[in-house]
Amino acid sequence: MLDARARLLREARGWLWVILAFLFIQGTLVQARVIPSESMIKTLLVGDHVLVSRFGYDAEVPFSHLLFGHDLHATLWRTPRRQQMIVFHAPLPQQGNPDFVKRVIGLPGDTLEIRGGAVWINGKPLTEPYLADTPDPWENRKPITVPADSFFVMGDNRNNSYDSRYWGFVPRSAIVGTPLFIYLSLDAPSEAWQPGHIRERLGAYAMALVHPDHIRWRRLFVPF
User: What value does the mean pLDDT take over residues 80-84?
Assistant: 96
Active site residues: 39, 102
What is the band of 96 on the pLDDT scale with cuts at 50, 70, 90? low
Query: What predicted TM-score, i.e. pTM, was given to this entire model?
Result: 0.83
pLDDT at 197: 86
What is the band of 57 on the pLDDT scale with cuts at 50, 70, 90? confident
Higher pLDDT: 197 or 104? It is 104
Concatenating the DSSP letter of every residue in the chain gives -HHHHHHHHHHHHHHHHHHHHHHHIIIIIEEEEE--SSTTTTTS-TTEEEEEE-TTTEEE-TTHHHHHSS--EEE-S--PPTT-EEEEE-SS--TT--EEEEEEEE-TT-EEEEETTEEEETTEEPP-TT-SS---TT--EEEEEPPTTEEEEE-SSGGG--SHHHH-PEEGGGEEEEEEEEEEEB---GGGGSTT-HHHHHHHHHHHHH-GGGB-GGGTT-B-
Q: Is the pLDDT of residue 20 over 60?
A: no
Q: Is the pLDDT of residue 98 over 70?
A: no
User: What value does the mean pLDDT take over residues 99-120?
Assistant: 96
User: What value does the mean pLDDT take over residues 156-176?
Assistant: 94
Average pLDDT in the chain = 84
**Mean pLDDT lowest among 92-101, 136-145, 178-187, 208-217:** 92-101
pLDDT at 38: 94
Higher pLDDT: 116 or 8? It is 116
pLDDT at 17: 45
